[in-house]
Amino acid sequence: MTTYALRSASPAKTRADAVVVGVLRGPSGPTLAPGGDEVASAYGRRLAPLLATLGVTGKAGEVVKLPTSKTISSPVLLLAGLGDEVTPGTARRAAGVAARAATNAASVALALPADSAALVRAVTEGWALGGYTFTSYKRQPDGERTDRAGEVVVLSPLARKKDVVAAFEEAQVVSAAVAQARDWVNTPPNDLRPPSFADAVVEARRGHGRSRGAGSLKVEVLDEKRLAELGCGGILSVGRSSDAPPRLVRLDYEPKGAVAHLALVGKGITFDSGGLSIKPAAGMKEMKSDMAGAAAVVAATFAIADLGLPVRLTTYASLAENMVSGDASRPGDVVTMYGGTTVEILNTDAEGRMVLGDALVMAQEAEPDVVLDVATLTGHMVMALGDRVAGVLGDEKVVADVLAASEAAGEEHWPMPIPAMMEERIRSSKIADLAQHDWIRWGGGLYAAAFLREFTGGLPWAHLDIAGPAFNSGGPWGQVTSGGTGFAVATLVEYARSLATR
Ligand code: BES
Ligand code: ZN
Ligand code: MN
């Protein structure tokens, strides 16, 4: 357990096992960033040659550790590169890198730039997220010790300001939620199947029993029998392929005095083999992450309740495993979705839209003001935007609001269109209302969004395709660790906050 404190103490006089300062890459060499001024004065004229000898440049991602030999009160100084400017983004990244470099320090003081609420938030989140580890399946952590500091002090000249304290607290709640989502995504797919994932959500709800909004937070799990009674043909069409039956998890957060009502829907494919339209082996190896959308909406719901935001939430996590079996769906099958729309399945690997369709219709029944769905939906989006940026599609206003929220949350999103021609493509089935897929290679991410829109009942809506950024198959960078990233949690919380303060 790490405890966090916010203080306006001097970094040069703070006693901690290590002090972290930022370094800016300046035109005339690296300089210590705001927050590190007193450390810079303690070193005086020795600083510039020291940085030069250490090879410090200040570029983003750089981190250098040095003994201070009593120049300041702490024995170790960590220099974290910020690049060319101080922004919440560069501060978050530097804090994340520093967190991984500061192993074996029991206490750490962060003297990174923190002279605004946004920077305090970024530094706190960056540290918490960059230091995330997932070790439940290791007999013993290998290599270097991965112990994290038990005591973290964030230094800010504004430590007493109300909005800064609030940002600091929100950062801790959001980081914990992101870590929860990462844990679920990282859990191997033999241990996280729809029933056990649903159980884990119920269990997590208990863990939030004492939070601010807990009294108004309810969870309900619909099992395969109930889904059949309700006619959830989409979820069942995917779930029938697996021995582990599907689940639809519903969370309701109804705070007193809610000023808006938001519905969240997440794709929760606990493993995506592609089904009979089976994936090649290389395309399957990370498909335990295909439930990242569900993990994000659930974790964000808990965080929003923890913060007590006055926004009513109706959240659906649609859980199924996409496998092959003697009873799996076939290309050519026609199923009736919840609400009655018929869909011709043409590629069992386009399963996300099937599980989301039912849940979107159900979300409509709660009459929310706005609907967001989050899904690792298409490889097309990864092709278009790479693995660090999510695509956002839907109503112009909702998309703009999501983009604004994602900016504040430090997660990159980019708007993508739903071209008019997609209307024809999704209706190209000769025998059903909608074609789930049309085997035209181009624009598959946009097709998928047009398909989902059919299930939104004309409510204000946006779709976040997080197929790229949900899982980091490479090494850690900044606050983003390897494996599940918890992407979209921070954006969803920020979006809810923007609804609350509108
Ligand atoms: N879960 C995948 C999408 C995906 C791909 C997520 C890569 C993360 C990384 C999804 O179910 C899928 O298989 N999509 C198909 C859609 C196609 C059949 C229209 C795809 O991307 O090829
Ligand atoms: Zn999938
Ligand atoms: Mn698939």
- 279-334 per-position pLDDT tens digit: 999 999 999 999 999 999 999 999 999 999 999 999 999 999 999 999 999 999 99
pLDDT at res. 142: 60
- Does residue 208 have a pLDDT over 90? no
**pLDDT band for position 478 (cuts 50, 70, 90):** very high
CATH fold of the domain at 175-500: Aminopeptidase (3.40.630)
Give the neighbor-by-neighbor strand order of the sheet with 334-336: 334-336, 342-344, 434-435
115 contacts 148 by C-beta, under 8 angstroms: no
pLDDT at res. 16: 97
Mean pLDDT across 461-482: 98
Q: Give the residue whose CA is nearest to atom 16 of ligand 1.
A: 350
pLDDT at res. 207: 86
Mean pLDDT estimate for the chain = 97
pTM of the model: 0.98
Q: What is the pLDDT of residues 145-164, one digit of tens each?
A: 557 789 999 999 999 999 99
The finding on whether 322 has its CB within 6 A of some atom of ligand 1 is no
* Domain locations along the chain: 3-160, 175-500
**What does the DSSP assignment read for 410-470?**
T--EEE----THHHHHHT--SSSSEES-----TTHHHHHHHHHHTTSTT-SEEEEE-TTTT
Per annotation, catalytic residue among 205, 288, 353, 497 = 353
Can you tell me the distance from the alpha carbon of 342 to that of 454, in angstroms, rounded to the nearest whole number? 11
Q: Give the residue whose CA is nearest to atom 13 of ligand 1.
A: 349
Q: How many CB atoms lie within 10 A of CB 366?
A: 16
280 contacts 466 by C-beta, under 8 angstroms: no
**What does the DSSP assignment read for 115-176?**
SSHHHHHHHHHHHHHHT----TT-SS--SS-----SEEEEE-TTTT-HHHHHHHHHHHHHHH
Q: How far does residue 484's CA lie from ligand 1's centre (Å)? A: 17
Kindly state the tokens that stand for 75. Answer: 């024995």
The finding on whether 438 has its CB within 6 A of some atom of ligand 1 is no
Query: Helix/strand/coil (H, E, C) string of 335-395?
Result: EECCCCCEEECCCCCCCHHHHHHHHHHHHHHCCCCEEEEEECCCHHHHHHHCCCCEEEEEC
426 contacts 432 by C-beta, under 8 angstroms: no
Of 368, 361, 316, give the one whose Cα is nearest residue 337: 361
Residues at Cβ < 5 Å from ligand 2 ion: 269, 272, 290, 352
Q: How far does residue 220's CA lie from ligand 2's centre (Å)? A: 24
Mean pLDDT across 174-186: 98
The finding on whether 437 has its CB within 6 A of some atom of ligand 1 is yes
- 430 assigned ligand-binding residue: no
Per annotation, catalytic residue among 65, 161, 240, 279 = 279
Range 3-160 classified under CATH 3.40.220.10: yes
**pLDDT band for position 457 (cuts 50, 70, 90):** very high
Q: How far does residue 441's CA lie from ligand 3's centre (Å)? A: 15
Q: How far does residue 131's CA lie from ligand 1's centre (Å)? A: 30
Placement of tokens 């070193």 in the chain: 43
Question: Interior CA angle at 60 toward 119 and 30, to 5°?
Answer: 90
Do the bridges between strand 483-484 and strand 390-394 make them parallel or antiparallel, or are there none, so unpaired? Answer: unpaired
Check if 353 is active-site: yes
**pLDDT band for position 141 (cuts 50, 70, 90):** low
pLDDT at res. 489: 99
Check if 13 is active-site: no
Coil, helix or strand at residue 223: coil
The ligand 1 atom at the shortest distance from the C-alpha of residue 283 is 7
Instruction: Please choose from 237, 323, 347, 378 the residue to mutate so as to test ligand 1's pocket, defined by most ligand atoms within 8 A of CB.
Output: 378
Of 204, 159, 424, give the one whose Cα is nearest residue 303: 204
pLDDT at res. 423: 98
- Does residue 485 have a pLDDT over 90? yes
